[in-house]
Amino acid sequence: MDKVCAVFGGSRGIGRAVAQLMARKGYRLAVIARNLEGAKAAAGNLGGDHLAFSCDVAKEHDVQNTFEEMEKYLGRVNFLVNAAGINRDSLLVRTKTEDMVSQLHTNLLGSMLTCKAAVRTMIQQQGGSIVNVGSIVGLKGNSGQSVYSASKGGLIGFSRALAKEVARKKIRVNVVAPGFVHTDMTKHLKEEQLKKNIPLGRFGETLEVAHAVVFLLESPYITGHVLVVDGGLQLML
Ligand code: NDP
């Protein structure tokens, strides 16, 4: 079976590191983000025969088109990583409804839509593997991140239920739940303050999370698992 891996959110941060690791392992990659130039740059840097696609995961039509295009130009997707995500941190009483909707649509609905499209093609191939990138706050909650935490908590519930639903079809679904990781998403944070609460005393690097994603993608007897990669932060929450 050809190894074709779609990485949504593959142009930057954690998704980009996953794409780098998977390319080194011989997978054919689809690097997907809204900004096509960013996705192209990331795919180009992988070397080899990888392709970039523009897609907003919150839009069903975009997701359907992207799966059609991937099948046409790369072959059927049998590995899926959902690393597209946004945060709009604020106290609930100050959170605009549009920011609630955009976080839920990107982080939760988006992964549901890509999983739905991927599961269809994986059933035809009699197998596949999915990793959704959640967050430690989806398990523990965080003040100022109630909506984001809900989107990630929802993603965990969704992934575990889907794991049960598709296990007989030899499709596995797992979650990686990172703590603080050095990416564009966290560059505005006060790292000096925050790292005092992290037992390992530092933020994580994207490759450290990517290794966990690839481990779950390739572990044939693990499904419905939530792998926390947070430097021990959950011990303190
Ligand atoms: P980055 O901001 O570095 O990258 C986000 C990626 O997602 C980009 O490729 C971006 O490209 C893409 N993206 C965003 N919105 C959409 C959309 N609607 N449709 C398609 N692609 C989209 O984020 P991180 O690498 O930090 O985060 C990756 C995942 O990990 C997210 O789900 C995040 O919630 C989660 N996470 C991150 C943590 C951290 O500390 N960094 C901690 C815990 C979880 P473009 O803008 O071009 O669309």
pLDDT band at residue 237 using 50, 70 and 90 as cut-offs: confident
Closest CA to 229 of 183, 179, 181, 184: 179
Ligand 1 center from residue 220 Cα (angstroms): 26
Q: 45 C-alpha vs ligand 1 centroid, how far in Å?
A: 19
What is the domain range of residue 19?
4-236
The residue whose C-alpha atom lies closest to atom 32 belonging to ligand 1 is 85
Active site residue 221: no
CB of 13 within 6 A of ligand 1: the answer is yes
User: Residue 2: which pLDDT band, with cuts at 50, 70 and 90?
Assistant: confident
Residues composing the chain? 237
Which of 3, 13, 70 shows the shortest CA–CA distance to 38? 13
Q: How far is CA 162 from CA 4, 17, 128, 167, 175, in A?
A: 21, 25, 13, 8, 11
Ligand 1 close to Cβ of residue 41 (< 6 A): no
Q: Evaluate: CB of 105 within 6 angstroms of ligand 1.
A: no
Find out whether the beta carbon of 57 lies less than 6 Å from any atom of ligand 1: yes
Total count of domains within the chain: 1
CATH of the domain at 177: 3.40.50.720
User: Which among 27, 73, 148, 221 is annotated as catalytic?
Assistant: 148
Pocket test of ligand 1: the residue of 89, 111, 133 to mutate, having most ligand atoms within 8 Å of its CB, is 133
Mean pLDDT of 145-150: 98
Residue 83 near ligand 1, beta carbon < 6 Å = yes
> What pLDDT, in 10s, does the model give residues 55-94?
999 999 999 999 999 999 999 999 999 999 999 999 999 9
Looking at residues 209-222, what average pLDDT do you find? 98
**pLDDT at position 97 over 90:** yes
Measured in whole angstroms, how far is the alpha carbon of residue 169 from the centre of its chain?
Answer: 22
What phi and psi values does residue 49 have, to the nearest 5 degrees? -105, 60
Express each pLDDT in 25-42 by its tens digit: 999 999 999 999 999 999
pLDDT digits (tens, 9 = 90+) for 100-133: 999 999 999 999 999 999 999 999 999 999 999 9
What is the value of ipTM here, to two decimals? 0.99
Question: Is residue 50 helix, strand or coil?
Answer: coil
